Amino acid sequence: MSDPRLGFCCKFVPMDGKAEAARPMNMSTVTLAYLGRLDPKAAYDKIASVVAHNLDAVTRQIVHVASRPKLERLHRLSSDLLPGYTHSSCQQYYQDHDLRELIESKLAAAGHLAREHGVRLSMHPGQFCVIASASSSAVANGVAEFEYHADVMRYMGYGDGWHPYGAHINIHGGAKAVGAEGIREGLKRLSETARNLITIENDEVSFGLDDLLPVADVVPLVLDLHHHWIKSEGEYVEPDDPRIETIIKSWRGVRPLSHISVSREDLLSGHDIFTLPDYRMLVQAGIRPRELRGHSDLMWNSAINDLVARHLAWTDFEVEAKLKNIASEGLARHVERSAILTG
């Protein structure tokens, strides 16, 4: 398999925390309500200015990630890149020749930059984006939202073949009531490009890891270690777990990707950083499972970081922490120290 990578998600956090340093690196947005109060020309101008800023910001993010050590050359792009893209009130703006040309040229250049420097890219639509639901309108909206993300990836040069360069668009399973067959039916609603980019992760409420294994023959599975810890009420998946082989096979030759996070620092204040959090003991101590789901600022637990280091033998990781790149860089340093000590 290729060299391991880990990275942060969507937003850049400057070390000094200053807004003026963060602004050019991160997405801007505009609400549909605000646009609705403007005349068409003013609305177009607003959309165009936000999109232009976002295209420059995503390029700056990729440049930053490309400047990091090879271990850190992985990045999840923000879904806020093209605000209102799927909404009927905005479709006329995105059909404008000049705006489309700007989007396609800028994203093509950003994708080329990522591939040139070995930066693995992904996207992760919001949880409302599902392809498996008993509600036909929910599925229709989910498919439209997913196809927007597929358009972004296609503009960036990831529109051909099976998860090219490891690129993917990750979603949750959707409504548990429709089961694995609901996921299979939802996949049929997607374009070929979208089907070649989709991945599905286990979550804490509906589709756990074991619930997703039956669809591993049709869609790559993203293992979220923290979600599984919550759903299973305390199990830590190790690299020698037999389910790992099924996950690897689901990617069909592409290096898998997984997610990692840990419960909040303030929630587990005083916890031994060298000991894996014990779910049952924490719940018995009065911490609610819902609270344990929340993500920490940093990857503060060394035992979980050691678990990540072990899993890097087969998978890359997106770090889901509130301090974004600061957290992922800290984890990378931990992994590098571990490699030196065990090398």
**String of DSSP letters for 179-235:** HHHHHHHHHTTS-HHHHTTEEEE--SSS--HHHHGGGTTTSPEEEEHHHHHHHTTSP
Query: In the structure, what pLDDT confidence band is assigned to residue 328 with cuts at 50, 70 and 90?
Result: very high
Convert 96-165 into a string of H (helix), E (strand) and C (coil): CHHHHHHHHHHHHHHHHHHHHCCCEEEECCCCCCCCCCCCHHHHHHHHHHHHHHHHHHHHCCCCCCCCHH
Q: Whole-angstrom Cα distance, residue 334 to residue 325?
A: 14
What average pLDDT does the chain have? 96
pLDDT tens digits for 1-25? Answer: 479 999 999 999 999 888 999 999 9
Q: Whole-angstrom Cα distance, residue 72 to residue 77?
A: 15
Query: Are the C-beta atoms of residues 199 and 157 closer than 8 Å to each other?
Result: no
- pLDDT of res. 53: 98
Report phi then psi at 199, rounded to 5: -135, 160
- The share of the chain scoring above pLDDT 70, in percent, equals 99
Query: In the structure, what pLDDT confidence band is assigned to residue 334 with cuts at 50, 70 and 90?
Result: very high
Strand partners, 171: 200
- pLDDT of res. 338: 82
- pLDDT of res. 342: 63
- pLDDT of res. 44: 96
- pLDDT of res. 175: 86
Q: Which two tokens stand for residue 140?
A: 């229709």
Average pLDDT over every residue of 305-332: 98
Which domains, and CATH codes, for the chain? 1-122 (3.20.20.150)
- pLDDT of res. 128: 87
Query: Are the C-beta atoms of residues 255 and 270 closer than 8 Å to each other?
Result: no
- pLDDT of res. 341: 60
Q: Whole-angstrom Cα distance, residue 291 to residue 111?
A: 37
0.85 exceeded by pTM: yes
Average pLDDT over every residue of 280-285: 96
pLDDT tens digits for 102-161? Answer: 999 999 999 999 999 999 999 999 888 999 999 999 999 999 999 999 999 999 999 999
Taking CA 92 as the corner, what is the angle to CA 89 and CA 95, rounded to the nearest 5 degrees?
Answer: 140
- pLDDT of res. 343: 55
> Residue with structure tokens 């509906």?
206
- pLDDT of res. 339: 77
Assess whether pLDDT exceeds 90 at residue 164.
yes
- pLDDT of res. 2: 79
DSSP label of 4: P
- Select from 55, 43, 58 the least CA-distant residue to 122: 58
Average pLDDT over every residue of 18-35: 94
Give the helix, strand, coil percentages of the chain, each rounded to 5. 50, 10, 40
Assess whether pLDDT exceeds 70 at residue 326.
yes
Query: In the structure, what pLDDT confidence band is assigned to residue 240 with cuts at 50, 70 and 90?
Result: very high
Q: Which two tokens stand for residue 313?
A: 């033998």
